[in-house]
Amino acid sequence: MNKIEFGKNTVREAVRSGEAIAVYVLTKHRNDPIVLEANESKIPVEFVTEEELRRISKSNLSQGFAAKVKPIREYSLNEIIDYAKDKENPLILILDGIEDPHNLGAILRSSDAFGVDGIVLKKRGEVQLNATVAKVSTGAIHYVKTTTVSNLSASITTLKKNGYWVVASDGSGTMSYDEVDYRGPIALVVGSEGFGISNLVLRNSDFIVKIPMLGHVNSLNASVATGILLAGIRQLQK
């Protein structure tokens, strides 16, 4: 089933990635570069009123742009592993219970920025890919490969069989994240905002690390923590 996405940056990337099927734009934006790009790609553009755009996007935050897009492609874990197998330092992100769509959108954005090869999501107990996630990701949702699995522990076992080291970021960690050697295939696990990583996933991880903090608050927003970790890992792989 085709989905609706909204927001200027999100629609721009939907057009550029070839995922947009139709674009809806407020008439006052008829000369915007997004319209020109859509026309060049032969993607239908419909100029609409604000009321029509609200109805289409089901949001007041469209910034004057919405698009009907192809269903987000779901990959299997094996497809993601195969895609990354020839890379020098494959990096897969495993999310354990991220419930806030804004956090997931921001995580997608960071994952695109730091070259994550794929994200593993849970089928239950985790927010799924929706219009809010797409908007917050500013279009990264169209570039980062994702897979949805029933059992994270089984997925971790599969990753280990394929040579991955599993690094879990959790407050219970006794070592700093920068004490790990990240050269080679790495699977990074980030837990939920409120409950962290499940005990079973922690037991199946090779390393449990934490981000050193100097302030008074002893935890970070999940998307902020993910951004710090991904940037740090890529730096340590150089």
- Tokens 């089984």, residue? 154
Position 173 scores a pLDDT of 87
Closest CA relative to residue 120, chosen from 199, 193, 189: 189
State pTM to two decimals: 0.90
d(Cα 112, Cα 134) in Å, to the nearest integer? 13
pLDDT, tens only, 25-78 = 999 999 999 999 999 999 999 999 999 999 999 989 899 999 999 998 889 999
* Residue 2: band (very low, low, confident or very high) from pLDDT cuts 50, 70, 90: low
pLDDT, tens only, 108-134 = 999 999 999 999 999 988 898 998 999
Which residues are CB-contacts of 181 (< 8 A; sequence separation ≥ 6)? 236
Q: What sign for the dihedral angle of Cα 18, 23, 25, 27?
A: positive
Position 237 scores a pLDDT of 93
